[in-house]
Structures are given as structure tokens and as C-alpha cells.
Amino acid sequence: MTSHDEVKETYKKTFSNFHDLDIKSLSVHGHKDFTAWEWQITCKPAVDFETGDGIDRESAEKKKLVGYTLMWWEDGKIIRNHDYVQQKEAVEEG
């Protein structure tokens, strides 16, 4: 089982790998034992995931991801989680 500190550090590292990260909830459905969360993320990668090299905000290409997170709950804790993600074409505004 992963500790709270390990989860916290993983999320910190994950979210620091992006510029202009925006997460929007599109819908949330469920009950005390199950939740389905539909979301959309727009961001610019701060790291080239193939090489590990950093990318500055101005050079980074905007990305758009849409997806669902399905969570099963027991005693107030997530016991199983599945994420489904699809990359969409990001449209630059302005």
C-alpha cells in the first residue's frame, strides 16, 4: 500500500511537469461506494517525456486531454481506481 506522503510526492512531481495546467470537472456522478468523474485537462508540457529535457512555457505545445476517472470506495477510502484518457486537438485561443 502506498503511504500518504508517497502519494503526495507523486502528485507534486506529476503536476510540476506542466505549464498552465488547468483541470475542469465536466461531471461527477455516483454514491458512497462508486464515483464516475468526467474531466478535461489543458496544459503545456514542461518536460519532453521522451528525452527528459525541460521545455520552457513559450516553446511548449498546448495539449488537451479528456477522460473519466472511476473510483470504488470502502470506508471512505478509494480501493480501486481506473482512468481513461484521450488526447484531443488543442485549439489556441486568441
| Residue 39 located in a structural domain | yes
| CATH code at position 41 | 3.10.450.50
Q: Give how many domains the chain has, as a whole number.
A: 1
Is position 21 within any domain? yes
State the DSSP code for 47: B
The three cell numbers of residue 5 are 506522503
Whether 20 is in a domain gets the answer yes
Asked if 43 and 57 touch (Cβ cutoff 8 Å), the reply is: no
Q: Residue 94: inside a domain, yes or no?
A: no
**Which residues span the domain enclosing 82?**
4-88
Which three cell numbers mark 59? 516553446
- Helix, strand, coil: what percent of the chain each, to 5? 15, 55, 30
In a domain, 53, yes or no: yes
pTM: 0.72
**Can you give the pLDDT of all 94 residues of the chain as single tens digits?**
567 788 778 777 777 888 898 989 999 999 999 999 999 999 999 988 889 899 998 989 999 999 999 999 999 888 999 999 999 987 666 5
| Within a domain: 93 | no
Q: How far apart are CA 49 and CA 64, in angstroms?
A: 16
